[in-house]
Amino acid sequence: MADCGFDPKIGKKFWIQLSQVYKSLYLKILWYKVSLPEGWTSEKFYVSIITIAMRQKIIVGNWKMHGSCSFARSLMQDLLQGGSESVSAEMVVCPPAVYLQYVSEMIADSNLISLGAQNASEHPSGAYTGEISASMLKELGCRYVITGHSERRQYYGEADAEVARKSLAVSNQGMVPIACVGETLTERQNHQARAVVERQLDAVLNLFPADRLEKFAVAYEPVWAIGTGQVATPDQAQEVHEWIRLRLSEKNSESAQRCPILYGGSVNGANAASILAKSDIDGCLIGGASLKSDEFLKIYNEAGWRKFI
């Protein structure tokens, strides 16, 4: 089988689900007599199905400007004790920058949790008071960096071009940028959601090397659902994720199938399962729920096995 670039430590339950997915999709192809895309062989189709099924779920906790040393210690202890390396999902925490070193030291001897940052400068170094470069974050052990979060765009005026430069700076240091995109309520009501998301995404893709898409992540966060208690329905979220996957495919069709697309917007333990069940939703960017260990672990465990609708 072709190397899909994934961790082979996957349990029996996963393979049972994968076989069910494969059978379901293959039967649909036969039933509806859908033709394969031009140039596709049956082998490429099968590998594509497996690649989609094997995209590892990623659950990212964005602490925003919350916490203290004692809070970080307590939360991380809970996560380290409550998580399991046998779960197929990846857990990521993004504490405020002042706690990155502290958290990094706490997880140094564990393979359970990855470290992420909430922001990075577009500049490699220089006289930029208050900024933190991507190389500094890399040195602290960060694997992921959130770029272009809606709060950065709204409160600090980050434009699409700046988000793109930040994403590239992160990638240049070998880390994975989580580029955030999403529309406001007014834009959705005016049927502009797709245009807005594509504009924001295109700004990054136009600057981002096509051969790095496998080390690139997108987070769709409808602005109207962040911290409001409102959540896009699973079907609404899946629709936008499909648009994003299609746009990525235009940049690099094979890498697009491996690129994780996360959903963010008032995700909690009660609604995570229905959201994560969608085929193009590869994880979640969690805000408030990431500050509660039991809630965050519930979401993480829901992501542990691939589910499809």
Alpha carbon of residue 119 to chain centroid:
15
Per the annotation, the verdict on 241 as an active-site residue is no
Which one of 221, 241, 295, 302 is the catalytic residue?
221
Q: What is the dihedral of CA 165, 166, 171, 175, to 10 degrees?
A: 180
Q: Give me the sign of the Cα torsion angle 17, 22, 25, 26.
A: negative
The residue among 74, 135, 78, 126 whose CA lies nearest residue 99 is 74
Q: Is 50 exposed, middle or buried (0-12, 13-18, 19+ CB in 10 A)?
A: middle
Distance CA 65, CA 112 (A): 24
For the chain, the residue count is: 309
- Cβ atoms 283, 276 nearer than 8 A: yes
Q: What are phi and psi of 278, to 5 degrees?
A: -75, 140
- Report which secondary-structure segment, H or E, holds 160: helix 160-172
User: Could you say which of 149, 151, 183, 302 is catalytic?
Assistant: 149
Catalytic residues: 149, 221
